[in-house]
Structure 1
Amino acid sequence: MQVEHPVVVITGASSGIGRATALGFARRGASLVLAARGAEALEAVADACRAHKGTRAIAVPTDVADPAAVSALAGRAVRAYGRIDVWVNAAAVAVFGAVEDVPLDETRRVLDVNLMGCVHGARAALPVMRRQGSGVLVDVSSVLGLVTSPYNSAYTMTKHALRAFDGCLRQELWLEGQRDIHVCSVLPATIDTPFFRHLANRTGRAVRAMPPVYTPRRVARAIRGAVRRPRHEIVVGPAGRALRVPAALSPGLVEKVLAVKVDRTHFVRGERAPHTAGTVFAPPPGPGSVDGGWHGTARTAGRRAAAATVVTAAFAAARRAMRA
């Protein structure tokens, strides 16, 4: 999309990937409509965006699980700026726990935010984009849309479903002849955001970001790249890209390898944690942040090497399975 100063709506803009994306677009003079549940954090990122010359930003507290609120968000964008060039669905929550241990209301809430929030966003943004004849819808999925993970079933379900939803949208738009409206799925690997400190936890074990860990700014660059040159899917992070072929060729093996990796590296060994609903039903307090404190150059280099070893072993086993 060749729009010099696009109008960009971002959900989940108060922290992590959404916040990094907002700041990245702000540096390029975009007009921003920022949405999240936490008003304090949302105003903080809007202020940071407005500090960049030529950037306009408005904060609209929004629960994406509420379709009326998301429709109102789109209306606010059009009233303020007259159009919507880019809509980024980045809001997400998660609950860690075995399937039978997670309260059903928490599972439903994850589905409502992560999946239905994107459905609501699409239904709000696409009519505007059809009227103006162009636009880019970006949904932040995950590499967990390609593979599965124990103790994270609700989140993983939503990311698989979101890839399918985006594919359906692309088909419908193509059949309509809408060649200038694009839908892109961005699939990050593990990202250094506050997400892992705020998730609901029903495991009794302390959760950490599973290595290797990449920066939110890397995902923000990928999102901006998807806007400049739309593609169906973008996987962010070498570890995520390396999983695609083994997952397709030998899904059973990859399932087992990742089960062990998650069990061993997604939790802090020997550290217990209280059962909590985290931010599934309420936003975290405070001004929010982009980073979660999981990333470090030396530490990440070691984690990447370990992850590469696991992926290489899975790929080699997949090739042997093909030859058998």
Structure 2
Amino acid sequence: MARGTASSRVVVVLGASSGIGRATAHALARRGDTLVLASRSADALADVERECLALVPGSRRHPHEAAAGGPPVLVVPTDVSVRDSVDRLFERAVERYGRVDAVVHAPAVVGYGRFEDIPAEVFDQVIAVNLLGTANVARVALRLFQRQGGGHLVLVGSLLGKIATPWMSPYVTSKWAVHGLARTIQVEARETPGVDVSLVSPGGVDTPIYAQAASYVRREGRPPPPVDRPETLARAIVKTLDKPARERSVGLANATWTAGFRFLPGVYDVLVGPGMSRLGLSTTAREPGAGNVFAPLPDGEDVTGKWGRHWLRGVGLVAVAAGAVGVRRVLAARH
């Protein structure tokens, strides 16, 4: 089956209840795409459904104007770490609309703490959601795309899939693995006409993920500056859906952090610990706990968190500029 046109795509958005996924659902609704919204939180998804229906262009709000089968938004509560749950999601989508043109996969959970202090079950569940969840979705999506003759899978990675930072070992491990999986299936997808696989890698983003994370450092996490808004990532994802690309990196500091990690590992290792303590952890006290790792916390789900792009913007820009200059000087000296 041929892929839908840009104005009539059927898009499955996973992680649609919060952060980047929710912002992406809003952006796709505005352009008139038919949406299948998925996350663990049925309550939060109901709110997102209402928000998206209010954003859909007027004529598309009526069932007869939607893709075959009903209104332009379908909600399917889904736990991506459970294969049967992912299977049911895609079955419902195809049953309702007859096809899936694109899949945006954004779910993620975070655990803070030294590796040995994070409970094994928390570490394992972060891997299950972030990595195995990505694999579960990609497997079903790619098989469906092969059957119907095309489709586009967009995976949300992270700057932390390219570098390492202390106190986030389960998240870093999972995102490195997600990047490896993405590159592998990108190569394999070259043999399947009409199938595209893209990776979008953000840096710091103002989402609720930090406040909802598991934490065993007695402090709440926060996005390191410079901080992008979820809407910025949503625009990058929509752009990627419109014009497929192997990878899009979103974040002013991404290139500097990656260059430092790769080319100046000794310097990077000295600086990343103090930097993470000052810029990646807030002063807000937190009792040790699993956060939303095992179950959603609907009351905390929203598009944005509490940081905003404004916090420490100047510090972030100065740090990025200084880091970039330092990297260039050291590399020039080496040559």
TM range (shorter): over 0.9
Code of the residue aligned with 1:138 in structure 2: it is V
Q: CA 1:234/1:255 → structure 2, altered by over 3 Å: closer, same or farther? A: farther
Are 2:184 and 1:168 aligned? Answer: yes
In the alignment, residue 304 of structure 1 is paired with which amino acid? Answer: G
Q: Distance in 1 between matches of 2:156 and 2:330?
A: 28
Checking the alignment, whether the CA contact within 8 Å between 1:95 and 1:200 is kept in structure 2 is yes
Aligned 8 A contact 1:200 1:279 in 2: yes
| Structure 1 equivalent of residue 119 of structure 2 | 103
Amino acid at match of 1:84: V
* 1:145-195 Cα deviation digits (max 9, x unpaired): 111010001101111111110111012122xx2232111111100100111
Shift in CA distance, 255/222, structure 1 to aligned 2, threshold 3 Å: farther
CA apart distance, 1:317: 5.3
Partner residue in 2 for 1:240: 254
Offset at residue 80 of structure 1 (A): 0.9
Cα RMSD over matched residues? 1.8
1:64 match: secondary structure: coil
| Greater mean alpha carbon deviation, residues 184-193 or residues 279-288 | 279-288
Match of 2:6?
Answer: 3
The alignment partner of 2:6 has SS state of coil
Distance between the aligned counterparts of 1:215 and 1:307, measured in 2? 19
Residue in structure 2 matched with residue 319 of structure 1 by the alignment: 331
Q: Is the 8 A contact 2:110 2:171 kept in 1?
A: yes
The letter for the 2-side match of 1:46 is E
Equivalent of 1:149 in 165, 182, 185 = 165
Amino acid paired to 1:243: W
**2:290 alignment partner in structure 1:** 277
Which residue does 2:222 correspond to in 1? 208
Equivalent position amino acid for 1:20 in 2: A
CA distance in 1, matches of 2:173, 2:138: 19
1:132 corresponding residue in structure 2: 148
Letter in 2 for 1:148: A
1:27 is aligned to 30
Q: Does 1:197 align with 2:211?
A: yes
In the aligned structure 1, how far is the partner of 2:16 from the partner of 2:52? Answer: 11
Identity, in percent, stands at: 36
Q: Distance in 2 between matches of 1:38 and 1:166?
A: 26
Q: Is the 8 A contact 2:206 2:309 kept in 1?
A: no
Which residue number corresponds to residue 118 of structure 1?
134
Residue 83 in structure 1 maps to residue 99 in structure 2: yes
Residue aligned with 2:76, SS? strand
1:296: Cα distance to partner?
4.3
Secondary structure of the residue that 1:8 maps to in structure 2? strand
What CA distance in whole angstroms lies between the structure 1 residues aligned with 2:6 and 2:114?
A: 46
Cα shift at 1:321: 5.9
Q: State how far apart, in whole Å, the 2-side matches of 1:93 and 1:305 are.
A: 27
Deviation at 1:313, TM superposition (A): 4.8
Query: Unmatched 5+ residue regions in structure 1?
Result: none
Q: Which residues of structure 2 form unaligned runs of 5+?
A: 62-71
Alignment of 1:234-313 (within 5 A): 234-269=248-283, 271-286=284-299, 288-297=301-310, 299-313=311-325
Alignment partners' CA distance in 1, 2:169 and 2:111 = 8
Secondary structure at 1:238 match in 2: coil
Q: Which moved more, 1:85-94 or 1:232-241?
A: 232-241
The answer to whether structure 1 residue 69 and structure 2 residue 85 are counterparts is yes
The answer for the alignment partner of 2:69 in structure 1 is none
Question: Helix, strand or coil for the counterpart of 1:61?
Answer: coil
**Residues 27 and 169 of structure 1: CA distance in aligned 2, closer, same or farther (over 3 Å):** same
Distance (Å, rounded) in 2 between the aligned partners of 1:253 and 1:60:
47
Q: Determine whether 1:223 maps to 2:226.
A: no
Counterpart-to-counterpart distance in 1, 2:271 and 2:246: 28
CA contact (8 A) 2:189 2:197 kept: no
Relative to structure 1, the CA distance from residue 79 to residue 303 in structure 2 (aligned partners, 3 Å threshold; closer, same or farther) is: farther
Contact 2:15 2:38 in 1 (8 A): yes
User: Secondary structure at 2:257's aligned position in 1?
Assistant: helix
User: Structure 2 vs 1, CA of residues 280 and 321 (structure 1 numbering), >3 Å: closer, same or farther?
Assistant: farther
Query: Partner residue of 2:46?
Result: 43
